[in-house]
Structures are given as structure tokens and as C-alpha cells.
A and B are shown apart, each in its own frame.
Chain A
Amino acid sequence: MSLFTPRRIGQMSLGGSLITYALLLAWAAFVIFPIYWLVITSFKSISDVNAGPVYLPFIDFQPSLHAWKDLLIEDWDDTRRAYVNSIIIALCSTALSVLVGSMAAYALVRVTYAPRFSTILLFVLSLGGALAASLAYGVDWRLAGAVAVAIFVLAVRGLGNRFAATLGNGDILFWMISQRILAPVVVVVPIYMMFQSVGLLDTRTAIIVTYAVINLPIVVWLMFDFFNSIPRDLEESAQLDGATMFTVFREVVLPLSKPGLAATTLLVMILAWNEYLLALFLSTADAQTMPILVAAMNAGERGILWWTMSAVIVVMILPVLVLAIVLQRFISKGILVGAVKG
């Protein structure tokens, strides 16, 4: 019997499983080691970090709590503010985008829409015109906006049914999902100006709304396919029993979509929790989030405070880890429905 013949029916050969385990363990080491290094670095003294690599706590070096002391005691105010900000922002933006996104996804599954192509074109044209006027020729933006709205409404009325080409639900869905293509740098400048003009820069509200919007496409995409897989009979039956669309959504659709909702929520929350670039633009002090705090440990002249930075990153991982373990059984099940039909 060779190394590569199965020992029993339905099992792998000895050689096959050895190779499999070797490869998986190798990758596990590759995944774990940077995380291990992060954790031990947060317990290293400054000299241990700077003097060169030491690997094993209590053997190679004596663990020190100085970085944690800095983070949790001396700079507690900064840490707490960033942590609270991050938690509020992640929770609220996730709740907002999951709620709004799944409602839209459900509507796109069950209701037929037919927006007129000419209306959309007109809308973009009047928006661009108003922007050009207010930016380039110094027209007051309120005035430009009002004129644009007026022109838009008049033109839509005037056109009537003359250009009847319409778009369908699929187009709306594609439009929503395609927003994910936009790199944050494409939109961040106008968003910055927009929040500046209403005085919301450096507030949690601004970041919450922005995160909710950039994650909306993911929610719509994943939930659309999930809702699509729910048998329509269930909803129609409830409808005949007198349930409104809201009741059907709350009583039938959402409870049946728990795996999808869990996976989507986890994914969106991780993205919001870890986002850096937009937070950098939209916050200066009060609304700073944890990723900003990580970057702040690169203290310029004094170099990078590796020990404290590691501690911050570890602190950031913990809640996500807990959440992921709680929701673990939903993850692959929930994500897959979306992926299979994509």
C-alpha cells in the first residue's frame, strides 16, 4: 500500500493528509506570526524593541506594561474618546446602512420601478450646471440650487412622456452597487466641502453618514440576493392576510434573513471600524477614531512608538474578534447566497 492510497473509503491517503496539514499549518503560521509579534511588542520595553528582535516573553525579555499604562492611564482621555467614537460610529453607521440598504434591496426584489431615463439625465445636467455656476462664477449656492431645481422640475413636466425610455430594477441595483467602484479620494473633496459648509466637520454625524453611504452598496448587493432567495409565497400569503409591506418586512422577511443580515452586519461593521482615509479627512480632534489613533503613534521626530501602537491595534482587534466569533456560524452561509448569484 503506497503512501498515497486512501486508508479507508472516504478518507484521504496518508501522504495526502500530511501534505494538506503541512500546507495549512504553514499558512496558519504565516497568519499568526504578525499578530503574535504585535501582541508581544505591546508588552516590550522601549529598549527591547530598539535593541533588536526578542521573541519569547519571560525567556527572551521581561514583559513590561509601560505601553498599556500609557494607553490606558496616562493618555486615557484620548484613548477613551477615540474608542467611544469608533464604537458609536461603527454601530450607528452599520445600523444606518444595514437598515436603509436592506429596505432598498427588498424594494428592488419585490416592487417594479421604472424611472425615466430622460429624468435622470436632466437631473445630472441641472446638478452639474448648478455646481459649475456656484463654483466658477461665484453664484450663491443656494440660488444656484433653487434655479437648478426649478429648471429640473419644469423640464420634467415639459418633457412629459415624449422620451419614454425607462430603466428597470436591474439598472437601479447596478447603479447602487457600482457606487462601490468610487475610490474615497474621488468623492472626499466635495464631501469635505459639503460638511464644512454646514459646520459638521469633525463630528461623529459626518463620519457616520459617510461610512453608511460607502458601505450601502455592499448591503444592497448582499441583501438583494438574500431576499431574492426567500420564497415569494411566504410574503404573498402574509399580504393576503392583511399585512402591509412594513409588516411583511418585519415579520417575515427579516427573521428569515438572519444569516444574511449577520454576515452583512459583520462585514460592514469591520469595514467601518477599520476605515482610515475618510476619517482622516473628516475629523481633526473631537471625532477621531481608533485608526487615526494608530497613525498618531507615528510621532514624527521621536519616531514610531511601536509598543503603544501595537497596544492600540490589539485593542482594536478585540471587539471585532468577539463579534466574529459570535456571528461565526452565519458568516459563510450568509455571504454565500450573495456570492453564488452575484
Chain B
Amino acid sequence: MSDLTSESAARRDAVLPSRSRGDRLNEWLDRNSRHIFLWPAVLLILVFSIFPLVASAVIAFARIRLQAGGYRVRFVGWQNFEKQIFGSEQFHFLGTFGAVSILGWAFGLAVTAWVIWWIVSYLRSGWTLIGTIGRLFPWGLVLLLGWLLAVTTLSGRPFGTLLTTYFYVLVGCGIQFLIGMGLAFLCSRAIRGRNIFRVLFFLPLMITPIGIGYTFRMMADTSKGPFAPVWQWAGLGDFSWATDPWAARMFIIIADSWQWIPFVFIMLLAAFENVPRDFNEAAQMDGASEWQIFREITWPQILPVAATVMLIRVIEAFKIVDLPNIMTSGGPGIATESMSLHALFAWRSLDLGQASAVAYLLLAVTVITCVSFFNLVVLKRVRT
């Protein structure tokens, strides 16, 4: 035993180089590693995300004129925002206002009643100051959107880029979620060839959005596209997607869904496959039907993933710009213009102040919607 230890001591001295050999740089790196790991990311974000964000805020309160050798900046206060909300750009951002139809009144009042019911039931269930302040935003937003819908499209007038953006987000993401989940559910069952389906369904995600925009323009062409004979047969040979607002919006949602359903599909498929078989089998033993198994066992299990996936999808959907830009250029009129595209057009007409103001309004509604979704749905339903 004793020779074992003395031998090992000798080996240790031979094997381990002395510590002083470690040079100073390595020592310094080691000691500061907690900063070296984090700071590159923080710096990149500060310079390329926070700085532009603050700069954009400054620009949103200014009017910028490009001149020879630079630009001239004049502060105009809230003018850029006022113009969007009350002024000459109101029709563009919010929509065209006028007398409210009966349908509009009914819908607006219904929305108001619903929000009041929501407020009352929240206050009854025990409220906190912060909770109330936090909920003021979604309450206000729902009221705003509800009445906007009531006074514009429900009263027979076009709405602006705000509601168009929400249309893309809510309807588009809704469709994508339902179809994506359906496909994932089908694919998660014991079927043959699901790896082929998996790869196949993933394809659209790999194609550049602008390519998808043009491809769908081809597809939808009523005289040269692949479905032209169908259009001719239906007597719609002269129909153009780009002349009817709702058709054009649906057209964009179809292309958007074609691209993004794979994303929802692949995430939810993984979630479905992650549900332990035991649960399923235990439920079968208890005599549950397939639908009951899905509703009582599978759905609660995939809910956290589903909520997160949809949060990501909603965040990305608010930014939609390539598809309407390519497929319809925002037309007819402004019917398919999203807020992102609105800002892009403003930038193209060199009105940087307006562009930044619209971009900030977009940021505000995105943040309110996503944070509300996160706090009221993801945290509450999923994480309790």
C-alpha cells in the first residue's frame, strides 16, 4: 500500500505540469470569463438593436429632409403620430371613418359589453394594482380594435393597415395553428412513411418568402397559371385577385400559411411524439375514446409547446412585409398593406419621420398583444 501511494505521488508530479506555466492571458481570460461570455451579445444588441431603436424614437418625433451632403432634422413633436391617428394619414393607418351602421353599433356594443364583463369578472376574482394596470392595455386594445372594425368595414368602409395587420396575425395564425396541429396529429400516429411526410412538409420553410410571393402570383394567375382552366370553366377568367380586397387578403394568407404551417407542424409533431405512451395506454385501459384521449391527455400535454409556438408565430406575423409587397404591392388601394409595408412605403417616399412613427406604432401594438398573450394565456393556462 505504501509503495502505491509514493509511486502515485511521483507520477502526479510527473504528470501535472506546474501551474505557473499557465500564461497570463489565459489566467486573465479565465478570471473574466463571466464578462467575456455575455458582453459580445450585449454589445451587438446595444449597437444594432437598442441604438437604432432609440434613434428611431428620435426620428419619429422629427421631420428629416435629405439635402446635398447630408440631412436636415427638425423636431415636430407628436406631429408624425397625430397625422397617423387624427390627421391626413388616418384613412391609411386606422381606416376611413363616417356614420356607423346598425351592424357596426351592434358589434361595437357587443365588444364593449364583453370587455366590461371581462373587467368585472377580473375585479371580482381578486385584483391587484399591477394586474389592473397591466390589463388596461389589452382592454384598451380590444375596445379600440372592436370599434375600429365597427366603424370601418362593418359600416361599409375600408379599414387601414392596423386592422389589416391584425387580420394577418389573427386569421393567418389561427389557420396555421389548426392545420399545423391537425397534420402533426395525423403524422404522430402509427403510420408508414411518416419520415417522408415530415421532410416533405418541411420544404416550404426553406424557400425565401419573396420567392413564395412570386410563386403564388404564378399559381393564382387566372389566365396563365396552372388553375387557369378551372377559372375559365367557372366563368371567372377575367377575375383578378388584385381587385377584390378580401380575395387579395385571403390570397396573402394562403401563401403565408403555405410557408409557416411547416413550422407549426414540426414543433407540434415533436410535442405529440413527446407525450409519454403510458398516459395514452392508461387512458385506453380506462375506456376513453380517441377524442377523449386527445382532449383530456394529449392536449394538456402539448399545450405549453403550442402556446410557445404560437407566440413565436404571432411575433413573426406582425412583421409580415415581403408577401404583400411582392404579391399585391399592398393593393388594391391599401387593402393588403400591413403596418410593416406601410412603414416601408413611407421610407420609400423618403418620409423617414412617418416611417419611424408607423414602425413605433407597430412596435406598440406588437408588444401589447404579445405581452398580453404571454401573461394572460401562456402563463395562466399553461403554467399553473
A residues with a Cβ closer than 8 A to B are 10-12, 17, 20-21, 23-24, 27-28, 30-35, 37-38, 41, 49-53, 55, 100-101, 103-104, 106-108, 111, 113, 124, 127-128, 131-132, 135-136, 172, 175-176, 179-191, 193-194, 209-210, 212-213, 216, 220, 244-246, 249, 270, 273-277, 290-291, 294-295, 298, 304, 306, 309-310, 312-313, 316-317, 320-321, 324-325, 328, 331-333, 335-336, 339-342
Contact = CB atoms under 8 A, between A and B. Distances in A.
A190 B52 contact: yes
Given A104-B38, A277-B322, A316-B207, A24 B226 contact: no
Nearest to B29: A246
Contacts of B62: 135-136
Given A135-B62, A184-B319, A186-B359, A53 B229 contact: yes
A291 B10 CA distance: 65
B296 interface: no
Interface in B199-251: 199-212, 214-219, 223-229
A306 B363 contact: no
A103 B187 contact: no
Contacts of B356: 186, 189
A276 B209 contact: yes
A41 B266 CA distance: 29
Given A41-B218, A176-B41, A339-B271, A316 B308 contact: no
Given A37-B218, A111-B37, A212 B355 contact: no
Given A136-B73, A185-B344, A186-B363, A34 B54 contact: no
A185 B204 CA distance: 24
Given A332-B270, A339-B309, A38 B206 contact: no
B214 A336 contact: no
Smallest CB-CB A-B distances: 6 pairs: A342-B308, A104-B41, A107-B37, A187-B52, A190-B55, A274-B208
A128 B215 contact: no
Contacts of A172: 38, 42
Contacts of A100: 40-41, 44
Contacts of B197: 24, 28
Interface of chain A, helix or strand or loop or mixed? helix
B92 to A, nearest CB: 15
Contacts of B51: 127, 190, 194
Contacts of A335: 266-267, 270
A189 B38 contact: no
Given A34-B219, A290-B208, A321-B206, A183 B318 contact: yes
B362 interface: yes
A236 to B, nearest CB: 15
B59 interface: yes
A186 B215 contact: no
B360 interface: yes
B75 A136 contact: yes
B183 to A, nearest CB: 6
Nearest to B34: A111
A312 to B, nearest CB: 8
B314 to A, nearest CB: 10
A175 B344 CA distance: 26
Given A31-B204, A185-B347, A336-B305, 20 more contacts: A23-B186, A38-B211, A104-B41, A135-B73, A181-B370, A184-B319, A185-B362, A186-B360, A189-B352, A209-B44, A210-B48, A244-B29, A274-B209, A291-B208, A306-B214, A316-B211, A332-B267, A339-B270, A339-B271, A342-B304
A12 B363 CA distance: 48
B214 A313 contact: yes
Contacts of B74: 136
Contacts of B355: 185, 189
Interface magnitude class on chain B: 35 or more
26 contacts: A23-B186, A30-B258, A31-B203, A31-B262, A32-B203, A53-B225, A53-B229, A103-B37, A136-B74, A183-B319, A185-B340, A185-B359, A186-B52, A187-B53, A189-B55, A193-B55, A244-B26, A270-B206, A273-B208, A276-B208, A298-B214, A313-B208, A324-B199, A332-B269, A339-B267, A339-B270
A35 B224 contact: no
Given A28-B200, A294-B208, A342-B304, A245 B214 contact: no
Given A127-B51, A183-B366, A185-B343, A324 B318 contact: no
Given A244-B30, A313-B207, A325-B199, A128 B58 contact: yes
B281 to A, nearest CB: 10
A32 B204 CA distance: 9
B121 interface: no
A34 B215 CA distance: 7
Contact of A21 (B191, B205, B307): B191
B42 A104 contact: yes
A275 B210 CA distance: 9
Given A12-B189, A294-B211, A339-B271, A320 B225 contact: no
A249 B309 CA distance: 28
Nearest to A331: B266
A228 to B, nearest CB: 15
B73 A245 contact: no
Contact of A190 (B34, B45, B59, B203): B59
B321 interface: yes
A321 B204 CA distance: 10
B283 to A, nearest CB: 14
Identify which of B206, B262, B311 gathers the most chain A CB atoms within 10 Å of its CB: B206
B57 interface: yes
Contacts of A332: 198, 266-267, 269-270, 273
